[in-house]
Amino acid sequence: MAIRVKRAYETSGPSDGTRYLVDRIWPRGVSKKAAAIDEWLKELGPSHELRKWFGHDPNRWSEFKKRYFRELDDQQTLWTRLVTESRTHTVTLVYSARDEDHNQAVALREYLSSKTGK
């Protein structure tokens, strides 16, 4: 499965494949052209309440993932599409958080990987 994660502030490239923004809020200071987003999947981002609760606190990471995965269970149509696409093409989940290890794109990639059985 070819699912990558990349910050919205990094330069896009051909190896990114299809780029999906998985934030509910557009990244500050990034133009639509510079972001080179193929599709904005707001619904795959964590809810406003969950995002605020988490606050990118690494101590809340495990609980954040549990809660976020429950939210993702209600978005099966969207994430199934990403899993299907990733079987034949590279998919890049784009996010804006500063923390490269504790963000929704990293959690979403883990969730998608669990759905493929890999």
| pLDDT band (50, 70, 90) for residue 117 | low
Pick the residue with more confidence: 91 or 118? 91
Q: What is the mean pLDDT of residues 104-115?
A: 94
pLDDT at residue 82 in the model: 95
| pLDDT for 98 beyond 90 | yes
Cβ atoms 6, 25 nearer than 8 A: no
Q: How many domains does the chain have?
A: 1
pLDDT at residue 116 in the model: 76
pTM score: 0.93
Domain that holds residue 29: 3-116
Write the pLDDT tens digit of every residue in 35-85: 999 999 999 999 999 999 999 999 999 999 999 999 999 999 999 999 999
Residue 23: which of 77, 82, 93 has the closest Cα? 93
Tokens 């493929």 sit at which residue? 116
Give me the residues paired with residue 18 across strands: 91
Eight-class DSSP state of 27: P
Cβ atoms 22, 51 nearer than 8 A: no
Q: What is the mean pLDDT of residues 2-13?
A: 94
Cα 102 to Cα 55: distance, rounded to the nearest angstrom:
10
| pLDDT for 101 beyond 70 | yes
pLDDT at residue 71 in the model: 97
